[in-house]
Structure formats: C-alpha cells, structure tokens
Amino acid sequence: MKKIDEYQGKKVLVMGFGISGINAAHLLVKLGANVTANDKATPKNNDIVDDLEADGIKVITGDNPISLANEGFDVVVKNPGIPYDNPLVAAFVKQGTTIITEAELGWQIFDGHLVSVTGSNGKTTTTTLTQLMIAENAKHQVKYAGNIGISFSKIAEDLGPDDTLVTELSSFQLLGAPTIHPHIAIITNIFSNHLDYHKTRENYINAKLNITRNQTKDDFLVINWDRDEWQKIAQRSQATIVPFSRLNKSHEGSYVEDGMIYWRGQEVMPTKDIRLIGPQNVENALAAIAAAKLSGVTNGAIKKVLTTFSGVRHRLQYVMEYQERLFYNDSKSTDIEATEVALQGFDRPVILLAGGLDRGYTFERLVPYFKKHVKAMIVFGECKDKMKDAGNQAGVPVVESENAITAVPEAWKLSEPGDVILLSPANASWDQFPSFEVRGDKFIEAVEELTGKKEQ
C-alpha cells in the first residue's frame, strides 16, 4: 500500500453501503479523514452500522438528505451505481465538490503493477483469465478485484510494489476514476449498454475510455479489432495499441488463423483446446493472452489456464449433464448481444430460457439466431410477450412461464437427449430478482431440484 496524505484532515462523505463503500470508509479513516457514511436504505444487518461507528464514522441511513450538501465535504466517494442526477449527488456536482468512486481511491493507494479490464461484455471472464495466466509465472502476488465483486481498495491495501492487480472496471466506476493509470488496459468490446445511466452512447464510450485516458506510449491498450468503430476508438488513446482479433489477422497482437491462436506471428495453441465454449470466449482468451504475453507469461502457462478453466459463475457457466442434457447458466447475459454470442457457442439444439426487465426494445435481431440454434423457448418476465413475438417470427415453439425457476421443468419437458438447456435471458433481472447473480443461483437450484444432483 502506498502511503498518501491527501485525505489527512479532510471531510469525506461515502455514499452507499456496498462492499466497496464500507471498505472505502474504513480505509479513509486510516488515511486520516473525517468520514461520514450515508446509505439511502436502512441496513437489515446492524453489524454494518456498528462496525462503522466503532471506527469513528458518522452514519446516516434511510435517506440521502440534501442537507448533507451544506456540510462542507471536501470529497464524496460515491457508489458507482448512484446516478449523477441523484438530487444529493447533483447538488455536489453544482458546488464543484470532488466526486470519485472507490476505484479511484484504490488506485491512489496502489503501489504495484496495474492491469485493468473494461467493456460491455466479457469483462469478468477476461479479468479472471488474465489473473490466472499471470499468476502461473509470477514470483509475487497476483490478485484480481473491482467490479468482479472484490473491493479494489481493500486488495490494494495488502499489495506491494512488486505485486500485480488485475481489475475489472465498469463504466460507472471509471466515471469517478479521473487519475487511474493502468500499465495495461483492456477493452473487450463496446456495445450500447447502460444508456439509462449515461444518456447517450458517446457518454458511455467516453466513460469506458477513462481506462486509457492517462496512459502514455509506454503503456498498452489491448483492444478488440473486429469492428471498424473499435479501431477508430483506439485512435483516441496515447498508449501503444495491441489489437486482438478473432476475425482479422494482425501481427501486432493476438489473433486466430486456421483454428490456431497466434501472438505476434508465433503459435500459442489451437482454439479447439480452449475449455470455455463459444466465439465470445475465444475473444476473451485472445484479450487475456495479449495482456499475459505483455507481462512475460509463457505459452505453457497460457495453455494450462485455457485448457482447464471452465468458466465464471453466471457467464455461460456449465452447470451439469443429466440424462444426456447439458445445463448452462448464462444469467449475466442481460443484453441482446450477449445472448447472440451465447447461442453461437453451441452445435447442439438449444432449449432457451429468456426474458426479464422490459427496457422498451424488441428482439427481432435474435430471430436469425433462434432459427439456427433454438429448438424451443421458455419465456418469462416483463418482456415475455416481445420475446415470444421474436420466437414466433423464427418459427420456434414458445412456452410462457412465470420466471427462470419455473421455466426449468418446462424446458425439461421439451428436451431430448443431446439438447442444451440454456438460461441466457437477453434482459436484466430486476423485474423479478435483485440481481443477475440471484437469478442464476435460483436457476441452478431449480436444476439441482429437478435432477437430484449438485452442480459440477
């Protein structure tokens, strides 16, 4: 941990009691700040409040009182999910108060080698693969943190100058991380996500580009080279560009040619040996390989990881095989693009479980994928009628169900040996579940109840 004094004697407000917010509040006390912690909800677990107060932190719950804007805070550390049009946050913006996220705080105290990953899809898998690959050859600690569910600042406290941290960073986190400076930055892809938060696609892209904003030619930006738009986005970085591509050969980075992965013209391994399924996971592997090779990792270490790693929970996660049916949990597919790539990963008939929060769009884009890959569909949630319309256009049998749990036995009735039963909703979970993680967990529980087996 790097010793810093910029918070000594400063008055800091931490907004949000998530894992990162709580860790940030305790860290700020160590850094000499006068800390107030605020959450709009009242925690069900009183231990959270007790622990904060025991550390000398003033705690305010049940509201984001606008009066806090008049208390002279020097810095606000905001939960990334709280939008900037929140009345209290907007008041701080109007005042010109410094507003950061916990990722910025983590960067300020970090004293080692930073690799950071962002993108619309594939962040968690790429982050995990990169960490595993670098760790295979490392003599020092290699950890991961960030949007992957582990506090950046908490892990950064325990790492030294020779250690490596691989961080997954969302657009929300990056908006509040103005000085973050990874030596290696990865952009997996950029689609049109979170426009309810960012308002425009350009705002979303600009937030993502904060990952490379402070990089120089001595740093590296590893970026997907499979779309012209992403190639143009790369031109906005001062870093040395390292492309990865499943579709376009580029000797400057990692790419696929005739079923073989190459790094700068040298063979690494066949794509068929990657344990993770689907073209999107080839792309994730290519991104991780580029970062790993830039970090000095051997081909042997890369092969070991890619031939053994079976996936991140809720990201096209293999659950089990039962009576010659394969179950996959892809609850993290909360947009159309993610479900497109999930379906392309299977060469077996798919029983698709899909639906969720209605964000106002329809699903005609999925019709060609339904025609090619889907045997039958179980639809649920607010947008089930729109999902059903797309299934009908594709000529696929569609059954309505209440949710992702009740859909499991319905899917089983329609399945035959050799089929895949896939939860890949193409929608957010918030109409029925508090998060995609809960939705995925409940799906797995339903599969376990149906089969009498535990996930593998």
Q: Average pLDDT, whole number, for the chain?
A: 95
pTM exceeding 0.85 = no
pLDDT in tens, 142-169: 999 999 889 999 999 999 999 999 999 9
What was the pLDDT predicted at 332?
92
pLDDT for 196 equals 81
Residue with tokens 């898998």: 125
In a domain, residue 4? The reply is: no
Check pLDDT > 80 for residue 456.
Answer: no
Q: What distances in angstroms separate CA 370 from CA 351, 362, 397, 399, one per listed residue? A: 10, 14, 10, 14
Amino acid at 163: D
The whole-number average pLDDT for the span 332-357 is 93
Q: What residues contact 437, with CB distance under 8 A and at least 6 apart?
A: 313, 314, 331
For residues 1-10, give the mean pLDDT. Answer: 95
Residue 325 and residue 419 in contact, taking contact as beta carbons nearer than 8 Å: yes
DSSP code for 366: G
Could you read off the pLDDT of 188-237 as tens digits, one per residue?
Answer: 999 877 778 888 999 999 999 999 999 999 999 999 999 999 999 999 99
Does the residue 456 lie in any domain?
no
Residues 153 and 197 grouped into a single domain: yes
- What is the tally of structural domains in the chain? 3
In a domain, 417, yes or no: yes
Residue 42 counted as domain residue: yes
Burial class (CB in 10 A: 0-12, 13-18, 19+), 235: exposed
82-118 per-position pLDDT tens digit: 999 999 999 999 999 999 999 999 999 999 999 999 9
Name the DSSP class of 213: T
Q: Do 411 and 273 belong together in one domain?
A: no
Residue 366 is predicted with a pLDDT of: 97
Instruction: Tell me whether residue 107 is in a domain.
Output: yes
Q: Which of 41, 73, 100 is the last residue of a domain?
A: 100
> Residue 77's pLDDT band (boundaries 50, 70, 90)?
very high
Residues 47 and 161 in one domain: no
Portion of the chain with pLDDT greater than 70, in percent? 100
Strands (E) in 314-443, as ranges, are: 317-322, 325-329, 350-355, 374-380, 398-400, 420-423
**Domain containing 342: what range?**
317-451
Residues 240 and 327 in one domain: no
The one-letter amino acid code at 67 reads S
Determine the average pLDDT of the residues in 406-412. Answer: 98
How many whole angstroms separate alpha carbon 451 and alpha carbon 443? 12
Question: Are 128 and 218 members of one domain?
Answer: yes
Last residue of one domain, picked from the residues 71, 100, 129: 100
| Residues β-bridged to residue 262 | 255, 267
The predicted model gives 390-413 an average pLDDT of 98
How high is the pLDDT of residue 70? Answer: 96
Question: Are residues 72 and 130 located together in one domain of the fold?
Answer: no
Looking at the fold, whether 145 and 242 belong to one and the same domain comes out as yes
What does the alpha-carbon distance between residue 134 and residue 144 come to, in Å, rounded to a whole number?
11
The per-residue pLDDT for range 9-68, each reduced to its tens digit, is: 999 999 999 889 999 999 999 999 999 999 999 987 789 999 999 999 999 999 999 999
- 96/110 same-domain check: no
Whole-number pLDDT of residue 402: 97
Boundary-marking domain end, from 273, 308, 343 = 308
Whether 200 and 261 map to the same domain: the answer is yes
Task: Quick: pLDDT tens for 242-272.
Answer: 999 999 888 899 999 999 999 999 999 999 9
Q: What is the pLDDT of residue 149?
A: 83
Are residues 168 and 281 located together in one domain of the fold? yes
Q: Are both 259 and 337 inside the same structural domain?
A: no
CATH of the domain at 402: 3.90.190.20
Domain CATH number, residue 192: 3.40.1190.10
Same domain, 91 and 110: no
